Amino acid sequence: MKKRVLLSALAATFLFCSASFAKDTGSKASVSKFHTQKEQGVINSRVESEKKLAKVTLKEVQEGFESVLNAIKWIEADKIKEAEDALKVAVKKFDLSLKNNPALKMVPVDSTTIVYEFAAGEKEIKENVKKAKKLLSDYRVQAAREILIPMKDDIEITTLYIPMDTYPLAIKTALKELQQGKKDAALMTLKAVMNTVVVSKVTIPISLVLAQDLIRKASKTDKNKKDEIEKLLKKAKEELKIAYLLGYTDKHDKEYKDLIAQIENIEKEMKGENKVEKLYSHLKDSFKALFKSIKSQAYKDSVAQKEEKALLNPSSVKGEAAAKAKIEETESKDLFEAKEKMRAFENEVKKDLKNK
């Protein structure tokens, strides 16, 4: 397996600040054959496309999040002044974002892309699985891992989201605690709120990307070049089969079978009246829908996993509950102080009116 990592500085910082987000170290390859130069071009193009889609649009939120990570580092280094300054920057950035976009909920703050390459045909994949099964039946788990772990051929996109309905309030609470000399309490609040960050991991099979590209090429090829089109369609079906053999179809099995059925319909139609434009159009839409479904499912799974983790880890829930209680307490105090100031102002106005 060949792996390329495109890691941003912000994500790298988060890796060291969050115990729940670990970097994959990769593993040895069991085959030395990788994608062709043309396929590599398609993969690179898709990676660039995904990076553009994942680009953070709210710069203030991203910068605020980065300042929070810096604040945690400063507190742990016992540099309180620097930590206060960092949190002040974060508060300012979040306030500006919420002022401009009051309805903000889950906001992406960073994205990391890792490309794993394992180009093998149907025969090689089946042989590897057969070997792994034999090893597992003999309880040679580690030897089986050496075969199975490299069998990963995908584009993995990890995106960090922060909840803007609670995250900024927690940062204000941590800042007040720090200003009051409560260093440990501030650190606890910050670490608890970091647990509310949602880490969504989208896995896009490279075989699916290649199949989509082959369909696109087939749709643009001259109708009279039937042999060339048939080769492209056959190769697209093979790529979808590889996605199945590598286990990428678990939650989207129906969609994959539908794609293969649609390709076969085009192959049949080509032998008849060759009216395939609408079939191609439908097939392209199905690919788009599948990619969208994969991403949507990944986000839902990441939220569900966080909720499940909270249920299985009471101490984490307790820490987050404590942080939430502090936020609510701070909000209540702020509201009370604001009301008191308003009452005092109203009384002064009444006195001035009476004196007149």
CA dist., res. 146 & res. 129, Å (int): 11
Give domain status of residue 173, yes or no.
yes
Q: Do 191 and 265 share a structural domain?
A: no
CA dist., res. 59 & res. 10, Å (int): 13
The residue behind tokens 């501030």 is 186
Residue 238 is encoded by which pair of tokens?
A: 């093979």
Give domain status of residue 99, yes or no.
yes
Q: Do 216 and 98 share a structural domain?
A: no
Give domain status of residue 92, yes or no.
yes
Q: Kindly report, residue by residue over 143-198, the tens digit of the pLDDT.
A: 999 999 999 999 998 888 999 989 999 999 999 999 999 999 999 999 889 888 98
Neighbours of 43 (CB within 10 A): 21
Residue 212 is encoded by which pair of tokens?
A: 């989509």
By DSSP bridging, strand 198-205 and strand 154-163 are antiparallel
Q: Do 183 and 61 share a structural domain?
A: yes
Query: What percent of the chain shows pLDDT beyond 90?
Result: 42
The yes-or-no verdict on residue 356 having pLDDT over 60 is no
Q: Do 224 and 184 share a structural domain?
A: no
The yes-or-no verdict on residue 86 having pLDDT over 70 is yes
Give domain status of residue 318, yes or no.
no
Place 342 in a pLDDT band, splitting at 50, 70 and 90.
low
Return the DSSP state at 89: H
Q: Do 258 and 173 share a structural domain?
A: no
The yes-or-no verdict on residue 63 having pLDDT over 70 is yes
Place 112 in a pLDDT band, splitting at 50, 70 and 90.
confident
User: What pLDDT was estimated at residue 85?
Assistant: 96
**In this structure, are residues 270 and 219 in contact, taking their beta carbons and an 8 Å threshold?**
no
Q: Do 158 and 13 share a structural domain?
A: yes
Q: Do 276 and 158 share a structural domain?
A: no
CA dist., res. 122 & res. 9, Å (int): 38
Give domain status of residue 13, yes or no.
yes
Give domain status of residue 299, yes or no.
no
Query: What percent of the chain shows pLDDT beyond 70?
Result: 74
Among 248, 268, 292, the domain-final residue is: 292
Place 315 in a pLDDT band, splitting at 50, 70 and 90.
very low
| Over residues 64-71, mean pLDDT | 94
Characterize 221-240 residue by residue with b for buried, 16 or more Cβ atoms within 10 angstroms of its Cβ, and e for exposed: eeeeeeeebeebbebbbbbb
Q: Do 288 and 159 share a structural domain?
A: no
Three-class secondary structure of residue 351 per DSSP: helix
DSSP string, 166-195: THHHHHHHHHHHHHTT-HHHHHHHHHHHHT
Q: What is the pTM of this model?
A: 0.73
Q: Do 187 and 88 share a structural domain?
A: yes
Q: Kindly report, residue by residue over 194-235, the tens digit of the pLDDT.
A: 888 988 888 999 999 999 999 999 999 888 888 999 999 999
The yes-or-no verdict on residue 341 having pLDDT over 70 is no
Among 265, 292, 319, the domain-final residue is: 292
Domain assignment of residue 38, given as a range: 2-118+153-196
Give domain status of residue 336, yes or no.
no
User: Taking all residues of the chain, what is their mean pLDDT, rounded to a whole number?
Assistant: 80
| Over residues 121-142, mean pLDDT | 95
The yes-or-no verdict on residue 291 having pLDDT over 70 is yes
Number of domain units in the chain: 2
Q: Do 111 and 49 share a structural domain?
A: yes
Which DSSP helix (H) or strand (E) runs through 161? strand 154-163
CA dist., res. 311 & res. 307, Å (int): 6
User: What pLDDT was estimated at residue 89?
Assistant: 97
DSSP string, 316-331: HHHHHHHHHHHHHHHH
Helices (H), 101-225: 122-137, 141-148, 167-179, 183-194, 206-220
Among 292, 316, 332, the domain-final residue is: 292
Q: In which order are the strands placed within the sheet that holds 154-163?
A: 2-6, 106-117, 154-163, 198-205
Give domain status of residue 269, yes or no.
yes
Characterize 177-213 residue by residue with b for buried, 16 or more Cβ atoms within 10 angstroms of its Cβ, and e for exposed: bbeeeeeebbbbbbbbbbbbbbbbbbbbbbbbbbbbb
Q: Kindly report, residue by residue over 321-340, the tens digit of the pLDDT.
A: 454 555 455 444 544 454 45
| Over residues 306-317, mean pLDDT | 51
Q: Kindly report, residue by residue over 9-62, the tens digit of the pLDDT.
A: 555 555 444 433 333 333 333 333 567 888 888 988 888 888 777 666 788 999
User: What pLDDT was estimated at residue 178?
Assistant: 94
Q: Do 111 and 234 share a structural domain?
A: no
